[in-house]
Every structure is written in C-alpha cells, then in structure tokens.
C-alpha cells in the first residue's frame, strides 16, 4: 500500500495508519476528536461489520466504533 494520504474508510482490517486531517463539516467529527481521534494519532482498523458499517478501530489503547461516513471524513497516512 502506498503511504500517500487516503480516507480512513479505505484502510482494510488489520491495517494501521496515522491521522493526518479531519473534515469538520462531517457530523459527529467533534465527538470523535473529543474521544481522542486527532491529527497525529495512530489508529488500527480492527474489523468491519458485514456490510462495511460500522468500522471498529483501536485508538490510544481502546476500541472505538465509527460509521463509514465518519471514517470517510478522516484523512490518514497508512503506516
């Protein structure tokens, strides 16, 4: 996988990335920031629901489930 920035929704289960930017116009983005999903944060995609929504992440040592639409508003750099 290239190390150019992509949407978090494009990272496959088992993949890791670092948050680069977040789209503040996406509903729920402030809540995600309050939960620790901030630029520079390392995230790992743990799994996806069968239809791809929600997505379970590991962030700062805890599990966080977010909607696919929210993940689409998070730009990450694969690691």
Q: For domain 6-78, which CATH number applies: 2.30.30.90, 3.30.360.10, 3.10.580.10, 3.50.30.30?
A: 2.30.30.90
Residues 27 and 47: their CA atoms lie apart, in Å, by: 22
SS3 (DSSP) at 53: coil
Q: ∠52-56-58 over CA atoms, to 5°?
A: 150
Sorted by where each begins, the domain ranges of the chain are 6-78
Residues 62 and 51: their CA atoms lie apart, in Å, by: 23
Q: If you count them, how many residues does the chain have? A: 79
pLDDT at residue 3 above 60? yes
pLDDT by residue (tens digit) across 13-34? 999 999 999 998 888 889 999 9
Intra-chain end-to-end CA distance of the chain, in Å: 9
């Amino acid at each position: 996988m290239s190390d150019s920035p992509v949407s978090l929704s494009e990272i496959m289960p088992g993949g890791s990335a670092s948050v680069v930017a977040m789209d503040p116009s996406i509903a729920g983005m402030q809540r995600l920031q309050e939960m620790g999903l901030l630029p520079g944060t390392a995230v790992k995609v743990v799994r996806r629901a069968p239809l791809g929504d929600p997505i379970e992440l590991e962030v700062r040592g805890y599990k966080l489930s977010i909607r696919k639409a929210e993940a689409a508003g998070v730009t990450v750099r694969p690691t």
